[in-house]
Amino acid sequence: MSSKSEIVEKLTRIVERHLADENFGVTELAEEMAISKSTLLRTIKKHTSLSVNQFIKDIRLEHAKVKLNETQSTVAEIAFETGFGSPSYFIKCFKEKYGYSPGEQRNGSIPEEDENDVAKGSFKWKWVVGGVGIVSVILIALVYFPQKDSQTDEFYEKSIAVLPFKNESSDSSNLYFVNGMMESILNHLQKIEDLKVISRTSVEKYRSLQMTTPEIAKELGVSYIVEGSGQKLNNEILLTVQLISAVEDRHLWSEQYKRDISNVFAIQASVSQRIAESIKAIVSPEEQNRIEANPTENMEAYDVYLKGMEFLNLGTDAGLDSALNYYSRAIQLDKDFANAYAYSAICFYYKDFFKSKKTYLDELETYADKALLLNAELPEALIAKGMYYMQVSRYEEATEYFEKVLKYNPNSAWTHNFLSEIYNLYLMDTEKYLIHSLSALQLDLGSTDSIELSNTYLILANAFSQSGMMDKAKEHIEISLDYNSENVFSNYLVIYIDLARGLDLETARSRMINVWNKDTTRLDVLKELAKICYVQRDYEASNQYFSRFLREKSKYGYNIFPAEDITMAFVFRESGRYRQADSLRNTFEKFTQADESIYQPLHYTFLHLYDGNIKKALSSFKTFGETEDYMYWILLMFDGDPLFEDVKDNPEFKSTWEAMSARFEARKREKIKKLKEMELW
């Protein structure tokens, strides 16, 4: 065996012994080899042409690749087993090394398709997702706090991440104050429109992860990193802050502040201004005024407010109660403390978050209104008011307040998440849904929880699919499944995305059955399975699945998927169940009459086709054809839906459909252009 092989093999064996230890790096490897770090660097460089970090990373990735083929562990589990502290970082490294994702490695599929090719061929297959609710309704069940994750290789020129500050106080209980300083500086930077500022939840994981500054910056897609440390001793603050150019890994600016606690707001404003100046960010006079505004003159009130923030950030029920107690004390000390009122309202929103019956609506509205009365431009107060309107299902009013937030805090990922949800589920605007989903992802990249990350990418895949961008949809749904291969929503959305890309119906049916067998309590999957059988004209199977769907729906008192009643009516009529068919037809008519969405003319088209009134059906379809911004799935349903059998060759129908298709493709090109201009593509 050569000397080179012996050295490399010895190094490899050492790394393999510590494979699951994410903190095992250059220092630890040098110690085990009993050589200096510089000698280790020269040795590995000489024999492999790699850096030490890359050498270790490649070994981890090779073992991960084997585990993907030989084990049933999830991608996230394999990431941790091979020493990657973040699943997103693992997926990024894997794709950089091998050119495809871990999920594609496991599935044996490495898709490569041009978006325009998909557009050209997308109307030739024969299937239907059916009903206007289609894929968007699957996300009703996805409730989430504002936390997301992503990976990017691109650096936005004026982008920055403020890492958690280190607490250097001898008293660990002062951590809340150091965290508060960091978060306040971050909040100030978020008010600057000329900056892209990563959210607090995105950087929190780096408190414990051992990664270099360039690695963190690359994972977050930022050009600059802010690091800091602080301590509080009695009434004195010592704060050290440094700004690092991530691309060059070079310090641009650093400063140490030693001040009386009464100067805390001046320190926060000064640090924010110096950072903005150093990276040449344009700060408008209005933004400058908002940065320099003091939230309170009462330092005792501010201190207990920061303690409340620490408990709120725990994200637990007990944390909410503790936070409310501290905010209450802050308000007692300063009755004009708008931030304390706003966050009290936010706590009441989340206390009701998982409850069907909202018990804190009065408190939510009262505290939000008080905060707005004290400061009409406070982003948190506007968010709180938007939350109130969300709770009472007044989504247009909620949107007005959330849009105002972005005027005063253009980097609020929290707000983009709310707007994404509204435009997907309630006001149904596919362009805004996509824009706000992508904006949120760029700013809020912070969870390491694989289930949550899977849902994040599911939402984005859904947003892309609704806009007809199926390559992007496929890319994001694969990432979703990489994070959580058991995600039911992702498992059936990917089937529809594949149908749009040419998958045959029989394979789709087989795959949907597999999803259903994993959890036979899922009515949404059962409904989708029945729909595929319906499009195949297998009315006997569709009848069985829809019958079970109706029984379960009635048993639990669910009022879901009302747009599907007309499909079930058709299936039951074909199966000779005329009384049930008539009943479902009538409930669908009532649903359609009450429908105020852009899809009402389309629902009338279904109704008239069911009744055999071709003239009225074509008239309603023509009306719907003049609509803008409907979901891409709508265009795909007409060619295979049995309800459209009698009109599919009608010249008037074909003319309307072709015009709709042409306009949709033109609109899609406009959307892509807009996304590129906004640096979201």
The CATH number covering residue 8 comes to 1.10.10.60
From 279, 294, 309, the end of a domain falls on: 294
- Residue 40: give the domain boundaries: 3-107
Is 389 within a domain? no
Quick one: pLDDT at residue 137?
41
What is the rounded distance in angstroms from the CA atom of residue 623 to the CA atom of residue 612? 18
Let me know if residue 228 belongs to a domain.
yes
Is pLDDT of 152 > 70? no
Kindly state whether residues 174 and 96 are assigned to the same domain. Answer: no
296 vs 556, higher pLDDT: 296
498-522 average pLDDT score: 92
* Structure tokens given for 385: 């008011």
Instruction: Find the range with the poorest average confidence among 126-140, 447-461, 630-644.
Output: 126-140
Q: Which residue has the higher pLDDT, 241 or 110?
A: 241
Confidence of residue 623 (pLDDT cuts 50, 70, 90): very high
Domain finish residue from 294, 323, 347: 294
Mean pLDDT, to the nearest integer, of 653-664? Answer: 94
Containing 548, the helix (H) or strand (E) segment is helix 539-555
In contact, 347 and 319? CB cutoff 8 Å: no
Q: Is the pLDDT of residue 531 over 50?
A: yes
For 146-160, 235-249, 305-319, 428-442, which range has the lowest pLDDT when averaged over its residues? 146-160
Interval 13-26 mean pLDDT: 86
Transcribe 421-448 into DSSP letters.
HHHHHTS--HHHHHHHHHHHHHH--B--
User: Cα separation of 546 and 29, whole Å?
Assistant: 61
**Residues 465 and 583 reside in one and the same domain:** yes
99 & 222 share domain? no
pLDDT at residue 129, rounded to an integer: 36
pTM above 0.85, yes or no: no
What's the rounded Cα separation, in Å, for the pair 243 and 376? 32
Q: Nearest-CA neighbor of 373 among 386, 382, 361?
A: 382
- First and final CA of the chain: distance in angstroms? 51
Mean pLDDT over residues 611-631, rounded? 94
241 and 186 together in one domain: yes
Residue 145 has pLDDT above 60, yes or no: no
The 8-class DSSP code of residue 376 comes to: T
Residue 246: band (very low, low, confident or very high) from pLDDT cuts 50, 70, 90: confident
In a domain, 404, yes or no: no
CATH of the domain at 235: 3.40.50.10070
Helix (H) or strand (E) holding 196: strand 196-197
- In this model, does residue 452 exceed pLDDT 90? no
Same domain, 190 and 86: no
- Is there a domain that residue 207 lies in? yes
On average, the pLDDT of the chain sits at: 87
The answer on 253 and 187 residing in a single domain is: yes
Mapped onto helix, strand or coil, the DSSP state of residue 231 is strand
Summarised one tens digit per residue, pLDDT across range 549-597 is 999 988 888 888 999 999 999 999 999 999 999 999 999 999 999 998 8
Q: Which residues contact 647 (CB under 8 A, 6 or more apart)?
A: 609, 614, 617, 618, 621, 653
pLDDT of residue 373: 98
Reported confidence tier of residue 447, pLDDT bands at 50, 70, 90: low
In a domain, residue 316? The reply is: no
Residue 252 sits at φ, ψ, to 5 deg, of -95, -35
3-class secondary structure, 1: coil
Say if residues 182 and 162 touch (Cβ distance below 8 Å).
yes
Q: State the helix-helix crossing angle for 565-574 and 600-611, rounded to 10 degrees.
A: 10
b/e code 222-236 from CB counts within 10 Å (16+ = b):
bbbbbbbbbbbeeee
Q: Compute the distance between CA of residue 168 and CA of residue 178 in angstroms, rounded to an integer.
A: 9
In this structure, are residues 246 and 213 in contact, taking their beta carbons and an 8 Å threshold?
A: yes
The C-alpha atoms of residue 522 and residue 552 are separated, in whole angstroms, by: 10
Query: Is residue 307 situated within a structural domain?
Result: no
Chain centroid offset of residue 124 CA = 32
The pLDDT score that the predictor gives to residue 367 is 98
pLDDT given at position 107: 67
Same domain, 159 and 136: no
Question: To the nearest whole percent, how much of the chain has pLDDT over 70?
Answer: 91
Both 535 and 635 in one domain: the answer is: yes
The count of structural domains within the chain is 3
233 DSSP 8-state letter: E
User: What are the structure tokens assigned to 43, written together?
Assistant: 């040795």
In this prediction, residue 21 has a pLDDT band, given cuts at 50, 70 and 90, of confident
Q: How far, in Å, are 24, 49, 281, 618 from residue 161 at the CA level?
A: 25, 32, 14, 55
Query: How far apart, in whole angstroms, are the C-alpha atoms of residue 443 and residue 445?
Result: 6
**pLDDT, position 215:** 86
Higher pLDDT, 422 or 555: 422
pLDDT at 147 (0 to 100): 35
Claim to verify: residue 199 and residue 230 sit in the same structural domain: yes
- Average pLDDT for 292-301: 96
Confidence (pLDDT) at 156: 57
* Residue 254, helix vs strand vs coil: strand
pLDDT in tens, 453-474: 788 899 999 999 999 999 999 9
- Domain endpoint, select from 254, 269, 294: 294
CA distances in angstroms from 258 to 63, 299, 375, listed in the order given: 49, 17, 30
Please tell me whether residues 103 and 201 are part of one structural domain: no
Other CB atoms within 10 A of residue 665 CB = 16
Taking residues 149-162, report their average pLDDT: 63
What CA–CA distance (Å, rounded) separates 533 from 595?
27
Within 10 angstroms of residue 442's Cβ, the number of other Cβ atoms is 25
SS (H, E, C) 168-179: CCCCHHHHHHHH
Rounded alpha-carbon distances, angstroms, from residue 52 to 78, 83, 401:
22, 15, 51
Q: Rounded to whole angstroms, how far apart are CA atoms 474 and 462?
A: 10
Residues 94 and 198 in one domain: no
Q: What pLDDT sits at residue 125?
A: 28
* Angstrom distance (rounded) from CA 680 to CA 439: 7
**Can you read off the two tokens belonging to residue 301?**
């009130």
Two tokens at 680? 């979201």
- The answer to whether residue 290 is domain-embedded is yes
Question: Is the Cβ–Cβ distance between 382 and 390 less than 8 Å?
Answer: no
pLDDT of 495 higher than 60:
yes
Per-residue pLDDT band at 356 (split at 50, 70, 90): confident
Rounded mean pLDDT, 598-620: 96
Cα atoms in the 13 Å half-sphere on the side-chain side of 362: 1
What's the helix, strand, coil split of the chain in %, to 5? 65, 5, 30
Is the Cβ–Cβ distance between 422 and 155 less than 8 Å?
no
Q: Smallest Cα–Cα separation from 167: which of 232, 253, 235, 258?
A: 232
pLDDT at residue 163 is higher than 80: yes
Q: Residue 408 domain-assigned?
A: no
Q: Does residue 399 contact residue 432 with C-beta atoms inside 8 Å?
A: no
Tell me what the mean pLDDT of segment 167-193 comes to: 90
- SS3 (DSSP) at 238: strand
Kindly indicate the confidence band of residue 88, based on its pLDDT and cuts at 50, 70 and 90: low
Same domain, yes or no: 480 and 609: yes
Residue 674, Cβ density class (10 Å: 0-12 exposed, 13-18 middle, ≥19 buried): middle
Q: Is the pLDDT of residue 177 over 80?
A: yes
At 559, which CATH number?
A: 1.25.40.10
C-alpha span between 349 and 387 (Å, rounded):
7
